[in-house]
Chain A
Amino acid sequence: MAKISIENLRHSYLPFPNPDRDEDYVLKKLSIDWADGGAYALLGPSGCGKTTLLNLISGLLVPTEGKILFDARDVSRASPEQRNIAQVFQFPVIYDTMTVYDNLAFPLRNRGVAESVIDPRVKEIAGMLDLTSTLQKRASGLTADGKQKISLGRGLVRSDVAAIMFDEPLTVIDPHLKWQLRSKLKELHQRTRRTMIYVTHDQTEALTFADQVVVMNNGEIVQIGTPIELFEKPKHTFVGHFIGSPGMNVLPCEVKGGKASFAGQTIASENAANFKGQSQKLEIGVRPEFVSFAKTGIPADVVKVADAGRFRIVETRAAGSSIKLLLPEDQVVPTGKVNLAFDKAHTQIYADGWII
């Protein structure tokens, strides 16, 4: 159990990166503080550096610059074993020739723990993961989700692990089992209160699992926040796009005298008054959830309607920009010319991508 701090972490896969060239680095100066016992997610598109960050924290990689602290101990150069972390990989890693029992006991046996201690521990973990009935079976005979549970079990079996890392652990799991395994993870976190760090590119996984989500893009942290913060107040238009389905509407706008306008209409927003500078790319961000049809407002044309179960996604076009909104399924979809209104409390202004 440990609090994890990352200080000015930078990483490059090149043998001699040029410190002045940002392109040489897959991770660009990151700092994060994670409290002990939390559930955290690293969320970002493929290639954003999230797995690299995870492997740096677990000790499978050594950072080019910066520090990783577990509690106050600098572990930047320590091995995974010294850091005492556990990791579950994208593809289930099991020891084929061993039984499920031996797989679970393996990390303890490697550390010279007595069999009398191992036995109850393995049985307890197997119970938590519903693996008790398969304990004496060969691990290679299990299905993908069973194997992934073993990987997870090998992490949980050590009572003193500093943190458990997950590197997209549900990639190879069947959709109907994904949900089960995800709730199992959540339940295990609540039971064991281990620090868990979960890497994924799937927003549903990140948002359901984590208390706090770190959104990454291009080797940088874009926003750290609770799922609600990320949804309601994205700090960057990237977060707005990446989280939510469909993503946030981003519209070009002008801001004059603390008032934003789009397509000649003044748009009430939550933060336009904060704007001071000039000559920046200004945009309005509003989620489809906070756009509605109105009697007056922004004139638009309905372009497309897609059924998404309880909601319909209506795509409209106004002044050359596309604006999507969600309509409950019991409401009639208007056709042709419509007027749109934005919810002021959830309409934000972004300058060069960042919230002002």
Chain B
Amino acid sequence: MSSKTQNNKAWWLVAPVFIMVAFNALVPLMTVVNYSVQETFGDNVFTWAGVHWFQDVLHSERFHSALLRQLLFSGIVLAIEIPLGLGVALTMPRKGPWVSVCLVLMSLPLLIPWNVVGSMWNIMALPDIGLLAKVINGLGIDYNYTRQPVAAWFTIVLMDVWHWTSLVALLCYAGLVSIPDAYYQAAKVDGAKTWAVFRFIQLPKLKHVLTIAVLLRFMDSFMIYTEVSVLTGGGPGSATTFLSIDLVKIALGQFDLGPAAAMSLIYFMIILFLSWLFYTLMMKNEDA
């Protein structure tokens, strides 16, 4: 019989991390939880509200429509950016001087701060002075994103595609260049056509990279705030009021901290659940 020496001193070494995590995640999160189950009128006076705020939020028409808009936005953005990014990656050169040119050009949008992107597109799309607006109107199409919901959506989606397709493309490109030449050679020998090469070699080899791309783009687009806030401010009307924008309006505009806290937690749970769902679905056949 041998008994292992118990030495718990190592916990002290982990303590700094615990403290860090506590301050940047647990404390804020618990504050939100705290607000979500209480009612306050300031002066640090709280009364117990139970699940009242949660019920309120879950039954609110306003939350439903914001959630729907948010889902629709993420859906559209993923449906465009993932195939487009993959397509761009497939056409990018694999060697030669153009590789670095492409990589730098592709990275540029990713380096621009969110609010600058919003401002850029705001100026581009302004009906009276914007280049984009002038061109579209010049084509005979009536376009004014400050008044037409469809035009506002079009502009926001276009902005997001411009800003983030590069990320998908760069991820896919990294995945593509890591496929050994022998696969392509074997495919040639086996008489595989371009489509078969894509379907049976490139796509399976890109699976992990694509999963990451989908997850990143989903989470980011589902939480989008700054760009939309700068570009449309959630308008016209509430046409582009996504969950994040609505949340800020409730929390900081109306100062309804209880409902805002409840909404934050529900929002968080939705993201967590959907990310898990995507991951599980995409990794389903990973029983190698």
Contact = CB atoms under 8 A, between A and B. Distances in A.
A60 B189 CA distance: 8
Interface string B251-288: 00000000000000000000000000000000001011
A140 interface: yes
Interface secondary structure of A, over-half rule: mixed
Contacts of A86: 189
A78 to B, nearest CB: 12
A252 interface: no
A345 interface: no
Nearest to A86: B189
Nearest to A94: B186
Interface residues of B, number: 19
B189 A85 contact: yes
Interface stretch (B62-70, B101-109, B159-167, B177-185): B177-185
Interface secondary structure of B, over-half rule: helix
Given A60-B185, A89-B182, A97 B204 contact: yes
Given A96-B204, A98-B200, A140-B288, A106 B192 contact: yes
B188 interface: yes
B190 interface: yes
Contacts of A97: 200, 204, 285
B204 to A, nearest CB: 5
Contacts of A87: 185-186, 189
Contacts of B200: 95, 97-98, 106
B201 interface: yes
Nearest to A110: B191
Given A91-B180, A97-B204, A79 B188 contact: yes
Given A91-B182, A98-B200, A106 B188 contact: no
Given A93-B182, A97-B204, A140-B288, A110 B196 contact: yes
Contacts of B193: 110
A151 interface: yes
B182 A107 contact: no
A23 interface: no
A141 interface: yes
13 contacts: A55-B185, A60-B185, A60-B189, A80-B188, A86-B189, A87-B189, A97-B200, A97-B285, A110-B191, A111-B191, A138-B287, A141-B287, A151-B186
Given A107-B190, A110-B191, A138-B287, 10 more contacts: A60-B188, A79-B188, A85-B189, A86-B189, A87-B185, A87-B186, A89-B185, A89-B186, A91-B180, A95-B201
Interface of A: 55, 58-60, 79-81, 85-87, 89-91, 93, 95-98, 106-107, 110-111, 138, 140-141, 151, 154-155
Interface of B: 180, 182-183, 185-186, 188-193, 196, 200-201, 204-205, 285, 287-288
